[in-house]
Amino acid sequence: MKKFIAFFKSNRDTALLSSAMLLLLLAMLEPTIPLKHNIYSYFLVADISQSMNAVDMRINGKPVSRIAYTQQLMHETLASLPCDTKVSIGLFAGTSVAALYTPIEVCENFAAIQDTIDHLDWRNAWAGNSRVRESLYSIARAVRGFPEPAQVVLLTDGEEAPKLHAFNTRDLTSFQGADDWLLVGVGSEKGTAIPKLTEKNQLIGYWSNDSFALQPGIAQISESNIGTRDDSVAGANDRFISKLDSEYLKNVAKEIGGDYVNGDNVHNVLDAMKKQKPARRDIAPYNLSSVLAGLAALLLLLAYVGKNPWAQIQSSLRFYKKELFKNRVSANEASIAHDNQIN
């Protein structure tokens, strides 16, 4: 050991540079070691019912619809997820939810998932109504069909259409399998009218209060109207005002053992997602390249600063101070010479 230390002292720079080169060569081989880590899998479900066309959200200061904001929120969320995370995209309309594919790895399929989000559209809905409570059972069935467990993130304004009362409120006390599900509220508390659009996305008016009436069977946004077209619009004083129902979503989340977060900030959503349970804990290869490259950089730095780094730093500081003083003196002399020429 003493001989080795003596050899290192006498050949310090050579030893450091050789070790750094060796570490860089090893980093290029991308070695890995098996490590246990949490694997997360998410089922991101977007509400595409007609109330999501309401324009009461903003992106970069510009007013946008709730569904456009949902797309932006999903894009930002997806971009923040680490590799090995799996994601499935789902659509919610009426009383059911459709999973577009089983969860896939985000890094390998990033472009495909982003493209799916880009094409979310209210015109993909298969029903005109919106039954949030009923949809939870459909979500649970979809998740059970996945090859591995997935945590649910439902992005919705909480608008029930037609409105709920005693005979059409689904009891959730026996609901199972929703531990750590996350409900994300999209929309404003103030609310706004819901635009009525053509198949070409052209505005023809707004939905009326009668469209969301409490009486069963008369709601224009209902299953009975699937496949039919109703172009009647609300008068100036009869527009139904749709609002984000945060309290309702909080209560639903509490009933099923989940959680609620307002979607007005992507960081809040990501923090809430981190609290959800991982799908599983698995052994995965950990790439050591970055660690080896970092060690190589450290050795190169040690070789550069010399045997007595503190003395070298002090010497460098004295040199820079001396040069700075010379520059100031030269500048003053040049200024005096210039003034003399003028006089």
CATH code, domain carrying 242: 3.40.50.410
Residues 211 and 326 grouped into a single domain: no
CA gap 82, 234 in Å, rounded: 47
Tokens of 38: 């949490």
* pTM more than 0.85: no
Residues 112 and 253 grouped into a single domain: yes
Q: What is the pLDDT of residue 229?
A: 47
Alpha carbon separation from 328 to 204, 212, 325, 332 (Å, rounded): 74, 79, 5, 6
Residues 183 and 217 grouped into a single domain: yes
Alpha carbon separation from 146 to 102, 108, 162 (Å, rounded): 6, 19, 31
Residues 65 and 146 grouped into a single domain: yes
162 vs 116, higher pLDDT: 116
CA gap 131, 113 in Å, rounded: 26
Residue 169 lies inside a defined structural domain of this protein:
yes
Range of the domain at 111: 36-285
R_g of the chain computed on alpha carbons: 31
Residue 101 lies inside a defined structural domain of this protein:
yes
Residue 297 lies inside a defined structural domain of this protein:
no
Alpha carbon separation from 229 to 163, 164, 225, 238 (Å, rounded): 21, 24, 8, 20
- CB-based contact 183:146 (threshold 8 Å): no
Q: What is the pLDDT of residue 226?
A: 43
CA gap 310, 298 in Å, rounded: 16
pLDDT in tens, 151-163: 999 999 988 876 7
Residue 2 lies inside a defined structural domain of this protein:
no
Residues 78 and 141 grouped into a single domain: yes
Residues 199 and 323 grouped into a single domain: no
Residues 165 and 312 grouped into a single domain: no
Residues 226 and 335 grouped into a single domain: no
Query: Cβ atoms within 10 A of the Cβ of 214, count?
Result: 11
Residue 1 lies inside a defined structural domain of this protein:
no
How many domains, the chain?
Answer: 2
Residues 246 and 339 grouped into a single domain: no
pLDDT in tens, 6-55: 655 666 677 777 888 888 888 888 888 887 878 889 999 999 988 899 99
Residue 19 lies inside a defined structural domain of this protein:
no
Q: What is the pLDDT of residue 39?
A: 82
Residues 180 and 281 grouped into a single domain: yes
CA gap 269, 261 in Å, rounded: 7
Residues 178 and 267 grouped into a single domain: yes
Residue 20 lies inside a defined structural domain of this protein:
no
Residue 128 lies inside a defined structural domain of this protein:
yes
Residues 216 and 327 grouped into a single domain: no
Share of the chain above pLDDT 90, in %: 36
